[in-house]
C-alpha cells in the first residue's frame, strides 16, 4: 500500500512539472505572428543571429504559409548558407594548412556549390591529385576549370606565379589521362614543362613524358610497322613511311630521358642514364654522344610533338651529263638525299629511295621501368 502511495505521489510531481511545459507551447495566433515577425524585422540587419532565431521560431510554430513566411524562409535559407559557407571556409583553410587532401576535396566542393568560379578553390582542388594520387581523377576537372579561369585573367593565388599555377595544373591533367590515353597526355606534359616554374626542374616530369611517348605513339607505330613490313622483314613503301614517323618519336623519348638524367639526383641518375643509353644506342647504333647530349640538353628548347609525315620524298632523278664521253673517271648519275636531323647527332632519310640510318622497331627496347622521384606537392 505504501508503495502505491509513493507511485501516486511521483505521478503528481511529474504532472506538476508538465503543466508549465504545456502552458509554454506557442500558438500561431495574430499576437504571436506580430511579435515574432517584428523581432525578425527589427534585427534582420543589426543582429542577424537574433533575426534567424525569430524566423526559425515563426516557421516552426506557424506551419501554414501566410504573408510573412516567404520572406522568413528566404532569410533563414540565406543565413544558414552563409553560416555554413563561413564554417566550410575555415575548415577548408585548415585542411590546406594540414595537407589533408581528402578534406580539401570535400569542403572545396561545398564552397564551389555556391561560388563555382572561385579561382583559388578550383586551383586547390585541381592540385589535390598531386598530393594524393587516389584523388587524381577527381581533381582533374577542377584543374581544367582552374586553367580556364587563370587564362581568362583570374588570380593564380595561392600559387606564387601564373606560370607555376598553369604548369602544375597542366601536369595534373596529363597525369590523369596518361594511363588511358598516353598520346593525349603528351601535349599537357609539354605545356607543364614549358612554363617557368619549379616543375620544369623536376626529372619526374620528363620521365613521365618519355613514358607517354613510349606507351602512346611509339607503341602504336611499332605495331603498325610490324604489320606493314614484307616477308623476312623486308621494307615496303608503307613500312618506310611508318618508320619515318616512328624515328622522330624515339628521338623525343631520348630527349626527355636526357633531360631527366640532367636533372636527376645522385641516387637516381645512374638508373636514368642506363635507360637513356640503351635507347640511344638502339637509335644511333653507338653510345658515343650520350654524355654530351645530357650535358647540353637543358640549353635546348623542348621539342614539340612530331608533325606527322604523310608521304616519303620522291627520289631525285639521276643527273644526265652534258657530254658523257668527257666525264671519264667521274661517277655521274648518283645523287644523295640528306636526311633530317634527329636531335641526337644522326641523320635519317633516304638515299636512292632506300631508308638509311633508321632504327628497326622490331627490337625496340621498352624503357618502361624508369626510376621515379615520387614527386609530391609540398
With CA atoms as reference, report the closest residue to 348 among 247, 250, 261.
Answer: 247
Helix (H, G, I), strand (E, B) or coil at 340: strand
Q: What is the C-alpha separation between 30 and 377, in angstroms, rounded?
A: 61
Residue 249 has pLDDT above 90, yes or no: yes
pLDDT tens digits along 178-188: 999 999 999 99
pLDDT tens digits along 267-313: 999 999 999 999 999 999 999 999 999 999 999 999 999 999 999 98
Residue 359 has pLDDT above 60, yes or no: no
Confirm whether 244 is domain-assigned: yes
Residue 330 has pLDDT above 80, yes or no: no
Confirm whether 181 is domain-assigned: no
Q: What is the C-alpha separation between 59 and 65, in angstroms, rounded?
A: 9
Residue 145 has pLDDT above 80, yes or no: yes
Cell numbers found for residue 290: 650520350
> 213: pLDDT confidence band, cut at 50, 70 and 90?
very high
Comparison of pLDDT for 240 and 371, the residue scoring more: 240
User: Residue 205 in contact with residue 193, Cβ under 8 Å?
Assistant: yes
User: Residue 147 in contact with residue 127, Cβ under 8 Å?
Assistant: no
Beta-carbon contacts of residue 345 (< 8 Å; ≥ 6 apart):
284, 289, 293
Q: Which residues of 302-323 are buried (b: 16+ CB within 10 A; e: fewer)?
A: beeebeebeebeeeeeeeeeee
Residue 24 has pLDDT above 60, yes or no: no
Confirm whether 368 is domain-assigned: yes
Cell numbers found for residue 364: 625496340
Residue 247 has pLDDT above 70, yes or no: yes
Average pLDDT, the chain: 82
Stretch 250-276: mean pLDDT: 97
Q: What predicted TM-score, i.e. pTM, was given to this entire model?
A: 0.70
Stretch 10-24: mean pLDDT: 41
Residue 127 has pLDDT above 60, yes or no: yes
User: Residue 68 in contact with residue 35, Cβ under 8 Å?
Assistant: no
Stretch 326-333: mean pLDDT: 34
Confirm whether 142 is domain-assigned: no
**Edge-to-edge strand order for the sheet containing 347-351?**
340-341, 347-351, 354-356
Confirm whether 285 is domain-assigned: yes
Confirm whether 298 is domain-assigned: yes
Return the pLDDT at 318: 61
Stretch 121-132: mean pLDDT: 97
Comparison of pLDDT for 198 and 114, the residue scoring more: 198
Question: What is the DSSP annotation of 107-149?
Answer: HHHHHHTT-TT-HHHHHHHHHHHHH-GGGHHHHHHHHHHHHHH
Return the pLDDT at 83: 75
With CA atoms as reference, report the closest residue to 127 among 154, 108, 155, 152.
Answer: 108
Confirm whether 77 is domain-assigned: no
Residue span of the structural domain in which 239 resides? 202-312+342-378
Confirm whether 259 is domain-assigned: yes
Residue 326 has pLDDT above 90, yes or no: no
| Count of domains forming the chain | 1
Residue 364 has pLDDT above 60, yes or no: no
Amino acid at each position: 500500500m505504501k508503495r502505491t502511495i509513493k507511485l501516486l505521489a511521483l505521478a503528481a510531481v511529474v504532472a506538476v512539472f508538465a503543466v508549465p511545459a504545456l502552458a509554454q507551447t506557442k500558438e500561431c495566433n495574430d499576437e504571436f505572428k506580430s511579435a515574432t515577425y517584428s523581432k525578425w524585422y527589427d534585427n534582420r540587419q543589426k543582429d542577424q543571429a537574433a533575426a534567424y532565431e525569430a524566423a526559425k521560431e515563426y516557421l516552426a510554430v506557424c506551419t501554414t504559409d501566410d504573408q510573412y513566411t516567404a520572406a522568413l524562409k528566404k532569410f533563414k535559407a540565406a543565413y544558414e548558407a552563409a553560416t555554413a559557407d563561413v564554417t566550410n571556409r575555415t575548415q577548408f583553410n585548415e585542411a590546406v594548412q594540414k595537407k589533408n587532401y581528402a578534406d580539401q576535396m570535400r569542403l572545396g566542393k561545398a564552397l564551389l556549390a555556391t561560388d563555382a568560379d572561385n579561382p583559388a578553390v578550383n586551383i586547390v582542388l585541381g592540385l589535390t591529385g598531386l598530393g594524393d594520387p587516389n584523388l587524381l581523377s577527381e581533381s582533374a576537372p577542377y584543374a581544367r576549370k582552374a586553367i580556364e579561369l587563370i587564362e581568362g585573367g583570374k588570380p593564380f593565388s595561392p600559387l606564387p606565379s601564373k606560370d607555376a599555377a598553369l604548369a602544375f595544373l597542366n601536369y595534373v591533367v596529363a597525369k590523369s589521362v596518361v594511363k588511358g590515353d598516353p598520346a593525349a597526355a603528351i601535349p599537357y606534359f609539354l605545356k607543364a614543362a614549358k612554363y617557368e616554374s619549379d616543375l620544369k626542374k623536376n626529372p619526374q616530369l620528363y620521365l613521365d613524358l618519355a613514358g607517354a611517348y613510349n606507351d602512346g605513339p611509339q607503341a602504336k607505330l611499332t605495331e603498325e610497322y610490324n604489320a606493314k613490313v614484307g616477308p623476312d622483314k623486308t621494307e615496303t613503301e608503307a613500312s618506310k613511311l611508318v618508320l619515318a614517323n616512328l624515328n622522330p618519336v624515339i628521338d623525343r623519348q631520348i630527349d626527355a630521358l636526357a633531360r631527366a638524367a640532367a636533372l636527376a639526383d645522385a641516387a637516381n641518375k645512374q638508373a636514368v642514364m642506363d635507360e637513356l643509353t640503351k635507347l640511344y644506342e638502339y637509335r644511333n647504333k653507338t653510345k658515343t654522344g650520350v654524355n654530351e647530349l645530357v650535358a647540353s640538353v637543358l640549353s635546348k628548347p623542348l621539342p614539340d610533338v612530331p608533325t606527322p609525315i604523310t608521304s616519303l620524298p620522291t627520289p631525285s632523278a639521276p643527273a644526265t651529263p652534258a657530254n658523257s664521253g668527257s666525264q671519264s673517271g667521274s661517277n655521274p648519275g648518283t645523287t644523295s638525299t640528306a636526311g633530317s636531323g634527329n636531335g641526337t647527332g644522326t641523320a635519317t632519310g633516304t638515299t636512292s629511295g632506300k631508308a638509311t640510318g633508321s632504327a628497326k622497331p622490331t627490337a625496340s627496347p621498352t624503357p618502361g621501368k624508369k626510376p621515379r622521384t615520387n614527386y609530391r606537392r609540398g
